[in-house]
Amino acid sequence: MAARAEAGPCAACGAQNAADHNFCKNCGNPLGTEESSGELKLNFAERMRDRCLETLKTSSDNARAHFDLGLAYYHLGQTGNATRAFERCLQLEDAYPAAHFQLALCHYRRGAMGECAQAARKAIELNPSSAPAHFRLAIALFHQARLDEAARAFERTIAVDPEYVIAWYHLGVIRERQKNVDNAIACFEKVVEANPDDASAHYHLGLCYEHQGKDGLAISALSRALELDPSDTAAAAALQELQR
């Protein structure tokens, strides 16, 4: 693909996008619009769908139009149509990392984790600096219970973008399952440092501290988890057990 002039960052994920992009290349968020509500975004996607379909009537081999059509369908919840549009885009222009990434999202949405991982790997091959693509590969591997591979993919996500907090969280979950408690604690501490109101991270910190025999820290973390999410029955049960 020819290089395009850069526009401002996406309001949703911060990724830089070319000036003529209608949707963010990383997260698919609509660009060039202040429309933020769900209803207005759907209206934007409907307009984009209609525009792309009109373009394709006279330019059926326009890879960019198929790509934007896929994004519009994705935001409209039409995953099958979106998948077909991205696949058609890639038939026309395989070296299109954003299309491979969006195809990975489609596969993820329909629960096809193997295909999601395959598409994410292709996106990474074409754009190794895409933290969202590394994360999508990692989360697909995580859901396939391929924890060692998933951990490496989460680590690559963080190497590309150390502020990718959700990658720290999932890496912590893996390390906790692997009984690597010190590493798990370091991961969850990164999460609460970035987002002190993350109840789930406080809960996992509590479990890790309990495993280390640090009951005071465990009680404090579990109490904070319950303060943030009073409906968390698992945190309540763990806290009750510690306070006996």
User: Residue 19 phi/psi, 5° resolution?
Assistant: -60, -25
Q: Which CATH number does 163-244 carry?
A: 1.25.40.10
Q: How far does CA 59 lie from the centroid of its chain?
A: 32
Check residue 43 and give its pLDDT: 86
What whole-number distance in Å separates Cα of residue 67 and Cα of residue 63? 6
Q: How far does CA 213 lie from the centroid of its chain?
A: 34
Angle between helices 199-211 and 233-242 (to 10 degrees): 30
For the chain, the C-alpha Rg in angstroms (whole number) is 21
Residue with tokens 């039409």: 78
User: Residue 94 phi/psi, 5° resolution?
Assistant: -70, -30
Check residue 171 and give its pLDDT: 98
Q: Domain map of the chain by residue range?
A: 163-244
Comparing C-alpha atoms, which of 92, 165, 90, 166 is closest to residue 125? 90
pLDDT values of the chain reduced to their tens digit, one per residue, 244 residues: 344 344 455 655 556 666 656 655 555 565 655 444 566 677 889 999 999 999 999 999 999 999 999 999 999 999 999 999 999 999 999 999 999 999 999 999 999 999 999 999 999 999 999 999 999 999 999 999 999 999 999 999 999 999 999 999 999 999 999 999 999 999 999 999 999 999 999 999 999 999 999 999 999 999 999 999 999 999 999 999 998 8
- Which tokens hold the place of 131? 């933290």
Check residue 244 and give its pLDDT: 85
Check residue 44 and give its pLDDT: 87
Termini Cα distance of the chain:
64
Check residue 23 and give its pLDDT: 58
Q: Which residues pair with 63 in a beta bridge?
A: none
Q: What is the pTM of this model?
A: 0.84
Check residue 183 and give its pLDDT: 98
- Which tokens hold the place of 78? 């039409």
DSSP tag of 9? E
